[in-house]
Amino acid sequence: MTLPNIPQPGTGPVVFEEGAGSGKSPVLGQLIAQARAAGKRLTVIDAKQTEKRTPVAVPYIPDPHNKQLLPLGVDPSNSRPITLDLDLYPHLLIAGGTGSGVSSTLRLITAHTVATGGTVDVIDPRRVGLAEFEGVPGVSITTDPAGFAAQIEAFHAEMKRRYEQSAKGPRRILAVDDLATSLMAARSFASSAVLKRAVQLLGKVAFAGRAAGMHLALSGVDRGTLRRMGDAALQDAVTVLLLGRTTRMTAQHLGVDPQLRRTYPGAAVLKTPGTTGRQIALSFLTPEQARIVANRPPIAD
């Protein structure tokens, strides 16, 4: 795929389209026309192609007045965009096996956050999941297991400082690509007590981070880690994104209706607090697209 030339901010739309012949819906055509007329930035992201359905173009429109809206995907029943309001639902737990789209979801979250003026602290123990953000302003990446606990400590300290000083500051997200693997790798460099405290601090961020503009996007959270973070009470503080084929027990433990199907690549269930979930077809950015979106100057208020 050849990427288009990227215009300067405010001069016109940016459109990524994957899959020849996928077509455009009337709603999407109208959005593109409106963006061109207003001189707004518009990125169109194809949902992942699957054997069960044709690609669906998902509009990604960073709006100066709605930076908190994270474009996660579309409703598979009607192709309408689904966004997550980070002001209302600040933390995301992502569960899914290899190849289900966990890393690509974290990629979308990271690109969107930086493009809308926020910053992202990445913990990536595998050194490949979010490598495309190396050197991107606003993104700091920790791959050394020796620094994982310290990174979490620093993130919590910043939340506490903002909270105590009533200084919200720019949106800041801690994105962990496979928390269970991160903690396992860190055992060679930190004591059990230090790692236990780090997990407990994640729980504190989950309960108090929203008021300080501090957010979590965690994947690979096992049941033991959930218990140390707060378990049952945590379900009232976080949104769950369940990707691909997972066990019925996993779905039930996360409070997700196990009857909601996730039978094709890119299929997921989005569960906000107080609900049992809704089906969603996930948006997708390639590493190259994510880097382009993240490297553009942040949208001004």
* pTM for the predicted model, two decimal places: 0.79
Question: pLDDT value at position 31?
Answer: 62
8 A C-beta contact, residue 97 and residue 246: yes
What pLDDT, in 10s, does the model give residues 234-271?
A: 777 899 998 877 767 777 778 788 778 666 667 889 99
Confidence of residue 219 (pLDDT cuts 50, 70, 90): very high
Rounded Cα gap, residues 241 and 270, in angstroms: 5
Q: Which amino acid is at 30?
A: Q
- Report the run of H or E that residue 8 belongs to, with start and end: none
CA-closest candidate to residue 115, choices 64, 181, 187: 64
Query: How many CA atoms are closer than 13 Å to the CA of 91, on its beta-carbon side?
Result: 25
Tens digit of each residue's pLDDT (9 = 90 or more) over 60-106:
555 667 889 998 988 888 888 889 999 999 999 998 877 778 888 99
At residue 294, does pLDDT exceed 80?
yes
Q: Which residue has the higher pLDDT, 33 or 220?
A: 220
SS3 state of residue 291: helix
Q: Could you report how far apart the first and last alpha carbons of the chain are, in Å?
A: 33
Per-residue pLDDT tens over the stretch 17-67: 433 334 455 555 666 666 666 666 555 554 444 334 444 444 455 566 788
Tell me which DSSP letter residue 299 carries: P
* The three-state (H, E, C) secondary structure of 41-83, written as one string: CCEEEECCCCCCCCCCEEEECCCCCCCCEEEEEECCCCCCEEE
Three-state secondary structure string covering 218-275: EECCCHHHHHHHCHHHHHHCCEEEEECCCCHHHHHHCCCCCCCCCCCCCEEEEECCCC
Residues 6+ apart with CB under 8 A from 274: 236
Listing from the earlier edge strand, what are the strands of the sheet with 92-95? Answer: 81-85, 69-74, 278-282, 267-271, 239-243, 92-95, 214-219, 172-176, 119-123, 139-142
The values of phi and psi at residue 184, to 5°, are -65, -45
| Helical (H) or strand (E) element with 95 | strand 92-95
Determine the longest span between alpha carbons in the chain, in angstroms: 58
